[in-house]
Amino acid sequence: MMALDVGYMPKKRIARRAQELIDAFAGDREGDRKAPINVELIAERHLGLGLEIEDLSARLGVTGVLGAVWFDEGIVRIDEGVEHDGRYAFTLAHELGHWVLHRPLWESKQIEVPLFSLDGAEPTPAVVCRSDKKPQAEWQADYFASCLLMPEPLVRETIAELYGRDLPRWEGFNALVKEREYDPDLAHVASVVIEAGGFDNVSKQAMGIRLKELALVGDASDPVQETLF
């Protein structure tokens, strides 16, 4: 099993790669550009990847595995224990992040490390994604997943429709962010955005993180933002 040592990649580039994937998948079908972004069809129909759901922990002999991508076989496997729709879509989108962002690097490493392509050897996944490990490659794949399922223009559009120019802000937001505490107000706004924007395959937690990351929510004491776009 090979750990991917990836370099720095700016957020903008990751977001662009996710948007390019959506655009290439959708083509002239405008509906496919809207939420919920169909990551299953992007994986299987557009990228031509195999998609399998199975007991990954048993296959790999390690616990806490959510998903894994086999670069050499072109297969994404998701653990059968990932049941929640939002968690499932995010895990699959995360693996697509590895496929899009990291496969070229893996391919170049393959040439340098022929030991990993021994004839007759059982193909092993290039990237195994566990819930408790977040090296750089995992962070990048997470961000890609976030951009793929919640494209910035769609999230901004939904926020604008719901709140106009008056972005949702409340007391105590900054303190809870600092202490990494659960924020019921953020969870509420996230669920409203999910409902209004049709982000049916996104969890409240993922939407909350996205809204914070895009600075579309804030603390009542923050200076009011003048423009949304």
Partner 1 sequence: MSESFGERIKERRLERGFGLREAAKLFGISPTYLSRIENRAERNPPKQETIEKIAEVLQMDFDELMRLAGRFTDDVKEFLTQDEAMPAFLREAREENLSGRELLEMLRKRRQGNDES
Amino acid residing at 198 = G
The CB-of-225 to partner 1 minimum distance in angstroms stands at 37
Nearest residue to 210 via CA among 170, 134, 169, 159: 159
DSSP code, position 52: E
Q: Which of 71, 88, 90, 143 binds partner 1 (CB under 8 A)?
A: 88
User: By C-beta, is 54 or 171 nearer to partner 1?
Assistant: 54
CB neighbour class for 93 (10 Å; exposed up to 12, middle 13-18, buried from 19)? buried
The single residue listed with the structure tokens 């499932």 is: 88
Interface size with partner 1, residues (CB under 8 A): 15
Residue placing its CB nearer to partner 1 in the complex, 63 or 174: 63
**Rounded-to-integer distance, Cα 88 and Cα 67, Å:** 9
The residues pairing with 169 across neighbouring beta strands, listed in sequence order, are: 218
Nearer to partner 1, 52 or 107 (CB): 52
Smallest gap from Cβ 191 to partner 1, in A, equals 21
Q: Which residues between 37 and 76 bind partner 1 (CB under 8 A)?
A: 38-41, 44-45, 50-55
Binding site for partner 1 (CB under 8 A): 38-41, 44-45, 50-55, 80, 85, 88
